[in-house]
Each structure stands twice: as C-alpha cells, then as structure tokens.
A and B are shown apart, each in its own frame.
Chain A
Amino acid sequence: GAGVSQSPRYKVTKRGQDVALRCDPISGHVSLYWYRQALGQGPEFLTYFNYEAQQDKSGLPNDRFSAERPEGSISTLTIQRTEQRDSAMYRCASSPTGQRTEAFFGQGTRLTVV
C-alpha cells in the first residue's frame, strides 16, 4: 500500500478479553516498530522488528503483551487479558532500513478497555 495501514482504527473491548492489533507496513520496509501513545504524551516504544526478527522487546510493559511479524511484513500486537490501563493509542511505524532513516507512521488503533 501507499502508507502504513493499521486495523482496526478503533477497538472497544471488555476487561479480560484478548485483542489483536494489526499493522501492514510500507512494502519493502525492513524495520517495523510498535509504540503506545497516551493523550498529550509522546509515543512510548514497545517493540521493534527487522524483517521477521524481533530485535528489541524491552518496551513491552508485561508478559500480557506480545508481538510477531512471521513473514517479515504484516505484524500483530496482541494484548491478553486486557486491563483498563491498556487503553491508549497504539501506533505502528515502518522504515526502510531502521532508525537511521525516517519512520512512517500509521494512523493508529485507538484501544478502549471498558
């Protein structure tokens, strides 16, 4: 596609449910990032892939959060047993060759846990 695509755009889920957020990066981009952004704050790093390899997952808050990019393209961020504090905007970005170049961001998925 022309840009980074995230789906769904909005997700409302009940506490305790699992959710899966999808990111479709720009075709050919090597690196893919997941960030979480609270209102009025900057994006907070969650995890990062080069191709299919998860290079850094140090930003994942706890073991309820996981991510994969099995074929080096589309990525899924999964949150198990959601809690209200997980409510935030989740943003995905991709870049051609890592953090030495600009990152292109998707529009994000607004997750609300009720």
Chain B
Amino acid sequence: SQQGEEDPQALSIQEGENATMNCSYKTSINNLQWYRQNSGRGLVHLILIRSNEREKHSGRLRVTLDTSKKSSSLLITASRAADTASYFCATGASKDTGRRALTFGSGTRLQVQP
C-alpha cells in the first residue's frame, strides 16, 4: 500500500510559472523526501526534509512540511521545460508501522509547456 498521496495527479503549466505539488501521508514519519522521474527512467532524489523541520530550500525547489496536518508541498519556481517529469513524495521511518523503508506516493505528472 502507498503512504503518500500527491495532489494534483497531473499539472500543466507554462514555462516560467511556478508549480506546486502537495503530498499527504497517514502515519508518523521521521523524514519526507521528494523524487523526480523522467519518462519512466530511474528516480532521482531532490530533497529531504526531517520531521523537525518546517521548510527547506534547494535551488529553485522549496519544500514545506506540516506534521500536524501530515502534509508536505513541493514548489518549483520559474519552471523550465526540462522540469517536465513525475514527482513523488516518499516517507521514511513510520513509527506507527515500524516500516523502515521509504514508502512512495502515486506521483504528480508535471508538464511544462515551452
């Protein structure tokens, strides 16, 4: 079963616009990670935010985490056509279930129009 659920499932924007994707999860976590996947290729790690952090930045990426609402958001600013990909959130160390492997959501498919 999948822990995280991304919203929206699909997003289409123009180059230069910002893209926001949301992730909700169900159990307590130690950290939350975001990954990108281009056209069925391997997944690439983007950013990790720990449960005691509220916001983190990496280049054009901004991630927020609200553990009280069990949700996270990924913001990509000034999007480029090369950002077209599927984006997944993954949760680590579920204290409730004891699972210590990353559990992935179903992803948001982002299309950036040039």
Binding site for B on A (CB under 8 A): 33, 35, 39-45, 48, 55-56, 58-59, 89, 91, 93, 98-108
Contact = CB atoms under 8 A, between A and B. Distances in A.
A105 B43 contact: yes
B48 interface: yes
Contacts of A99: 30-31, 92-93, 100-102
Given A42-B2, A89-B40, A99-B30, A48 B100 contact: yes
Q: Which secondary structure dominates chain A's binding surface?
A: loop
Indicate the size class of the contact surface on chain B: 20 to 34
Contacts, number: 67
Contacts of A41: 106-107
Contact of A91 (B30, B43, B90): B43
Nearest to B88: A42
Contacts of B100: 48, 55-56, 98-99
B67 interface: no
A41 B107 CA distance: 7
27 contacts: A33-B102, A41-B106, A42-B4, A42-B88, A42-B105, A43-B88, A43-B104, A45-B101, A45-B103, A48-B100, A48-B101, A55-B101, A56-B101, A59-B101, A89-B40, A93-B43, A99-B101, A100-B30, A100-B93, A102-B45, A103-B33, A103-B43, A103-B90, A103-B102, A104-B45, A105-B42, A106-B42
